[in-house]
A and B are shown apart, each in its own frame.
Chain A
């Protein structure tokens, strides 16, 4: 209001003073005209200034923002009603009202400030000791050391708590994030931290959500990423474990392959044996039945004339044999009283050489 005061004071003494001295000459009349016209201008300016002043308290709240009107410092409305959405909001000019806009739409990103090594290269430096003042790390539950870093994306869901509750809200969130990461490390074994990233991240997230509730931060976690790596100095040993685990599963897989093929082979062998046995049974039964039938057919005639039947069967069999593949040699019986000699050269492998050389030599 102090800024507009001079405008109120100056124009009024001027018209008030003007009519009192009587117009004397044309010079003073001209001066009076000039004063009167400038007074009109000043009045117009004043009116504009007044309008500007009346609307000076209002504010346009942008998208992704919310606003609270403070009347003499006290928020208008109670609870969630205090919050005004985007658009123009009229308010009394200073010092009566004050419109405080709060950015809520944007997703905020924050990275933990503990737990990561100072060097910004992709791999942690392979130093045999870590200076706690310079290097960040986490102690895991089984007293190992790992490097870990959490990246948090969050949204402000309770702007009143977030903005009016904290002087440096981001610092507070940062502390909660660091605490959650530290806690997760203190709970988890080094294997969980390094290998089971999902479980580890879940530990961090659970703790962080608890802390956000406790401290009434008024934010909601959208996404959290946790990177965990082994310190450079012991990394080769962790790598060795990984390759040993791979070797183990390779061995196990090979054994499983062996087991599978062995069992399959045994099953097929067993099937083959059983099938062969079934075949044998079928054949045997058929043969015996056939023999029995033949026997039954032959029997009546055999009883009548055994010798005839015998000869007939025998000769029929000979016929079959002689038309078969066997080698046949004929050696007449020598005259009575004379010796007969037959030289046989038996090969070690009679089958293999049977057709190559004729081994049976007949002589007198």
Chain B
């Protein structure tokens, strides 16, 4: 009796679980669930990014309703690296990447049978044609430019995205969330031209640098020479000024000599004589030169008379 009731309770529990599993299904945060009734989609769950509703959901039991799951997370799209022409007829190679999610599970299922690979193939051709159109409306200088205003890199990405977004949403049930340029290149033959130009540019830069070096060096040297001349001219002026000051200072003293110019001149002569006979000079004297005039008469016959000179051999 007691055992029977326990068995019954357990059986009932199991039955409840079974029924529960028939009528309810889980939807994870990262999933979109599409409920189909006899193969026809009736509703999709957790598809709206604004109102996510993961968790437990009701359905009619199999085989009336079935649940098909899709990944809700962002899928990576990597486009091919293909050649297109810019507005000014530059052939460039460009590839883009994109991140997309399923925005309409019904459409996505009907269109691609739920296959992400098939969706990406379609997306590839859609992005290719839109990319080609946008690139064809832009000059090459909008892709690469030293002028930040001319560069339209981000704008090009946004234009492609803006064109792809509504089409992908309407036709494939796909929301392309972001799109960017992954690679840019030039056809192989053109790289040769670029290299030639780069070489020529570098050689020109070498010449410019050489000339710059010489010019700068010359400028610096001539500046220095000019500075030198200025400094010396300044010094000359200063010297003259000092000399003038000196003359002015002594002129007052010179007035003293006017009291007896005769004595003044005599004193100057005596000084001049002393200065003249200081060195490197040879004096030839006769007996009339004082004090040798004392020797007059006594010196007859003497031809060479040298005063004793202790400093000299």
Contacts and interface: CB of A to CB of B under 8 A. Distances in A.
B227 A266 contact: yes
A183 B194 contact: no
B226 to A, nearest CB: 10
B198 A175 contact: no
Interface stretch (A28-36, A219-227, A280-288): A280-288
* A-B CB proximity, top 4 nearest: A248-B213, A259-B224, A270-B235, A74-B55
Given A270-B232, A292-B257, A145 B299 contact: no
A143 B144 contact: yes
Given A179-B180, A270-B231, A317 B273 contact: yes
Nearest to B225: A262
Contact of A258 (B97, B205, B210, B220): B220
Contacts of B195: 128-129, 145, 231, 233-234
Interface in A239-294: 240-241, 244-245, 247-252, 254-256, 258-260, 262-263, 265-267, 269-271, 273-274, 276-278, 280-281, 284-285, 288-289, 291-292, 294
A12 B3 CA distance: 8
A128 B3 CA distance: 90
A298 B271 CA distance: 14
Interface string B255-293: 011011011101110110110011111111111111110
A351 interface: yes
A181 B241 CA distance: 70
A269 B238 CA distance: 13
Interface residues of B, number: 133
Given A128-B192, A327-B281, A329-B304, 9 more contacts: A75-B29, A128-B195, A141-B144, A167-B74, A234-B198, A234-B202, A244-B209, A332-B286, A354-B280
A322 B306 CA distance: 10
B12 interface: no
Contacts of B253: 285, 288-289, 291-292
Contacts of B218: 255
Nearest to A363: B303
A342 B143 contact: no
A42 interface: no
Nearest to B203: A237
Contacts of B213: 244, 247-252
